[in-house]
Chain A
Amino acid sequence: QKEVEQNSGPLSVPEGAIASLNCTYSDRGSQSFFWYRQYSGKSPELIMFIYSNGDKEDGRFTAQLNKASQYVSLLIRDSQPSDSATYLCAVNSYGGSQGNLIFGKGTKLSVKP
């Protein structure tokens, strides 16, 4: 069974700080990597995707990918209380009982004013 691992948290950071969320995956053949944000009681929302090694920036968010280490991370700069949510890492996979994406269980982020 292919796996995606995340620290469940909670990760608590003060407002204005950088939040760093990490994810490791087991399938070396994975090509696509995604970060979803899920507010309590709501459905997941796609916020970032990355396909190549290195960094990808979008506003206050930066996704980092290291395929050799099978590691993907999400940095949130200038964290705001509205960033408080659970962040799900997802990695592509094909066929079998896991569908096309394997999701981690999520890291709960709390940004304190």
Chain B
Amino acid sequence: DGGITQSPKYLFRKEGQNVTLSCEQNLNHDAMYWYRQDPGQGLRLIYYSQIVNDFQKGDIAEGYSVSREKKESFPLTVTSAQKNPTAFYLCASSIDIPGKGDEQFFGPGTRLTVL
């Protein structure tokens, strides 16, 4: 089955710790995205990558880091510099062909809680 997987489903972090959220896709999509969603809020873009070894900051990149060493994988690290990291984190991917393949497909999400 093709799809996007995220792990873990739930993650608890102590203040001052860095944590890494996993995102893997086997859809052969070029583009991958990380969003943050707070209760009752919309999606806010953290980082995105359109090609291996390249990525761009989204609207709320501060306190986060990413890597894109393989087409299938786009892990997100939430660093201790992120002051309010408790949120629902969503990974997505797309073919990214303007006008024909813009739609993004989402993984199931990781719920991060800072203790």
Question: Which A residues lie at the B interface, using CB under 8 A?
Answer: 31-32, 34, 42-46, 49, 51, 88, 90, 92, 94, 97-101, 103-106
Partner of A106, one of B42, B103, B109: B42
CB pair B45–A97 under 8 Å, yes or no, is: yes
Task: Bits for B49-91, please: 1 = Cβ < 8 Å to A, else 0.
Answer: 0000000111100000000000000000000000000000010
Question: In the complex, what distance in Å separates the CA atom of A51 from the CA atom of B103?
Answer: 11
Q: Are A45 and B102 neighbours in the complex by a CB distance under 8 Å?
A: no
Interface size grouping (class) on chain B: 20 to 34
Count A/B pairs, Cβ under 8 Å: 61
A104 touches B42 (CB 8 A): yes
User: Do the beta carbons of B98 and A94 come within 8 Å of each other?
Assistant: yes
Query: Within the assembled complex, what's the spacing in Å between the Cα atoms of A32 and B31?
Result: 17
Taking the complex as formed, is B20 at the interface, i.e. its CB lies under 8 A from any CB of chain A?
A: no
| A32 and B109 form a contact (CB under 8 A) | no
Q: Are the CB atoms of A97 and B58 closer together than 8 Å?
A: yes
B8 within 8 A of A: no
24 A-B contact pairs sorted by A residue (CB < 8 Å): A31-B98, A31-B99, A32-B103, A42-B108, A43-B90, A43-B107, A43-B108, A43-B109, A44-B43, A45-B106, A92-B98, A92-B102, A94-B98, A97-B45, A97-B56, A97-B58, A97-B59, A98-B58, A98-B59, A99-B45, A99-B48, A99-B56, A100-B104, A103-B43
Across the two chains, which residue of chain B brings its CB closest to A94?
B98
Residue of B nearest to A45 (CB): B106
Known pairs A32-B98, A44-B43 / 20 extra A-B pairs, C-beta < 8 Å: A32-B99, A32-B102, A34-B103, A44-B106, A45-B106, A46-B104, A46-B105, A51-B99, A92-B98, A97-B56, A97-B57, A97-B59, A98-B45, A98-B59, A99-B33, A99-B58, A100-B48, A100-B104, A103-B42, A106-B42
